[in-house]
A and B are shown apart, each in its own frame.
Chain A
Amino acid sequence: MDQILKHHSLNELRNQGLPYDEKLFLDISVNMSAIERRCATAVKRRTVKKESQVAWLLKAISCIDLTTLSGDDTPGRVRRLCAKAKSPIKRDLVDSLDIEELNLNVGAVCVYHDMITHAKAALAESEIPIAAVSTGFPAGLTPFKLKVLEIHESVAAGADEIDVVISRKHVLNGDWKKLYDEVKEYKAACGSSHLKTILATGELGTLRNVAKASWVCMMAGADFIKTSTGKESINATLPVTLVMLRAIRDFYELTGQRIGYKPAGGISKAKDSINYLILVKEELGRNWLTPNLFRFGASSLLADIERQLEFYATGNYSAFNRHGIA
């Protein structure tokens, strides 16, 4: 269902943004201890077992941006990734779980610009979107002109989604208007492609900065806000997630516009993915549990989920070598 929805609603989901308004975010309060307590208990207040657990793990798969972002990426490597994206779990598992009708694949494939055309070729027959990281990923310190140009090039090459990195210096120096203007230009450059803004939360210093940066990006038109590049020393965490989800909720209440959320980096266990889904469902609601509005930026998560699914199907604990690598 979510897969079908995806392309229908792409344009409706696009965030029109808001004029720059400091009143909306400058006085924001974030209490770190309370945020941590909520995260610690939220995942203890809810759990999913048996069939529900399987369903939730499948949901997690459908929300994965299957990612390869390495200097040694090659067309061959990207083809292998795309093959996995199209059939993320073994055929016999699909049968034994009786989920043929879900036509399960991952949320997107995420690559560097250079790999877009190879991914596009590999995914030709599917509806899986291609996300390209951009704007001098991961540090974002290349000339601004080139950053905008990179977006144009990626869109032209066929990227459906552009994952940009914001200038951390604007956040750290409190130059919120500069951040707004930067993201607004990126948005314009994206055209009809979706804009995902990577905050690099591990480099922003405080949760208040995370909240403010989330607001500025959403005001400037980001369709998704994303935690990390995966290259910072601290990537996605539940506390950062909670702060960003609450910003998304307040933005929705103000504008009626649903912004997507993407935690990235460090999420490699099936149990972790369920915890993220629980937090999203509790803070934002069922509507956000769709690849349109929620993604995991992850490379090794899928393999762990596969093992859990096989355990459910067979009753035996599984091993990595029994599942095709991405």
Chain B
Amino acid sequence: MIHSSFLIPLFPLVGFLILAAFGRRIGNPMAGWIATLMVLASFIVTVLVFASVAAEPASARLHVENWFTWLTAGQLSIGVGIQVDPLSLTMAMFITGISALIHCYSVGYMEHDEQFPKFFLYLNLFVFSMLMLVLGENLLITFLGWEGVGVCSYFLIAFWFTRPSAASAGKKAMIYNRVGDGGFLLALFLLIDKTHSLTFTTIFSRLSSLSSVDLAAVSLLLFVGAAGKSAQLPLFPWLADAMEGPTPVSALIHAATMVTAGVYLMCRVSPILHLAPDAGHVIAWIGVATAFIAATIGCAQTDIKKVLAYSTVSQLGYMFLAVGCGAYDAAIFLMLTHAFYKALLFLGSGSVIHAMGDEQDIKKMGSLRALMPLTSATFFIGWLSIAGVPPFSGFWAKGDVLSNAWVVSPALWVVGAFTAILTAYYMGRQYLLVFFGEPRWKETGEGSLHPHDAGWTMSMPLIVLAVLASFGGLINLPFGSHLTFLESWLAPVVGASQLHNTDSTLQLWLFGIADAVFAIGGATMALALWRNTVNRPALEPRFLSMAWFLDASIDRFIARPSSALALFGATIVDRQIIDGAVNGVAGLFKVGASKLRRVQTGYVRSYALVIIVGLVVMVAYFMIRSGL
């Protein structure tokens, strides 16, 4: 079965090609079902491959398949191929699984859209790229997938391209990511220079040829790439704008899968990070700072999707905190559970937006609990999970991250724990404003609204995800090694670089109780403050609703000066200085020539004269010099 692993990325690629060729003829909803089926097939193959790999002894769970040579130059030869190991399989399985669910949801969500087939065309291309990213056997294939998902993200954010805000948001996402890509590329060049390879296994065997400065540089440059893709400080403003895309896109790309690519990359290169502990500290601190800042911003947003967007940034920050501490399995654990509950929350918000007639302002919602019982119940589970209320999945995953952070530095733990309170609070605020209180949507005069739960294509994924969000913690329970399935499963890949957390059972219980108190405390605060109140200006300061003015500052201090500089280059430097010099020289010749001959003979002749005279002089010079 392992040799069939090429089928995993092949199915979505075939789906993409079919839709590219015949998409418009296949039409709605068949195009959507073909795309869904392709991803489902890919998921089934992944599960089968997973089963056969799991049957092997732990030390033999690495299979590299090389298909053909991509680039060669000198000593460097980079192939196209995939690497099947516990990490890549974990990623592939959750990507194809969640993607299949979201494809199914989209068939319902996008049913009235004119560009229906094109939507699924992009989605399949995205899944293919994402699978190449996580399955690639070398860093250049990872980069191929990396750019591929970035391009699909650009297409899908700007999917409703007639809206200028959507078009600009797509462009913004691509440009922010491009900044990160610059770091990624430099890391690749440094690795090529030192190890003459980009194949993971080869690089890791040649790490001794890298100095400690090189190792730190590679780690941090790759992190710059990861920060772009995974929206970490200071490269996160694009993710809030990315909410312009259709909601299933936000769920799939901008919550569950693509934005976690940076975390995957860090785990994949864990042997390098392991040798660069200082870089690890930088990553941990940027991660926890991002988690905190994004959580504060989440407290003051009024757009249902932007709350979730900043929440995603914050959760990604937790994952990088884990990575920086060397707790790679905790990072993956949180990534998986986050994929469940955040996809659930996004899809739930999509149902709400649908029911509200495309209204996204939570201040204009309210009291939907009774009208949309299924959405309300699943959203509630999502809230408890992300808040970290036991026994929902988020409790176990976030607890794992925080207890590891404590080992590295209690200061990291303090910021992380405070952020946990904020998380429970801002998600509670959102849940209460949407599903409790007065039905404020009736006030807007649109009496035509009759909110209700959506059809089965949209409800089924909600139920599946709610189950996963509730019980996802089971894959890695911290009660002895026979229950830490994920940790043991990932050990062959990240085990050697892993932080050794020697917490005793008592410590684990104490951490667990503390986490539960933070979660319930935050949730209670939300209940007390937002149960029946819609506006609390003191809790929603402009500083927070404007996202710490980061976006505005980047625009003011980087984008606009660069643009002005470019204008200066285009108008003054190019037209007046460089071209002016050329014209000036030409003019001098012209004046000289016309004085010489006393007649204005036109351009060609005077230039030709000057050139010929110059030519004779130069030929003569060289003839004399060379002794002729």
Task: State yes or no: do A and B come from one complex.
Answer: no
Residues of B within 8 A of A (CB): none
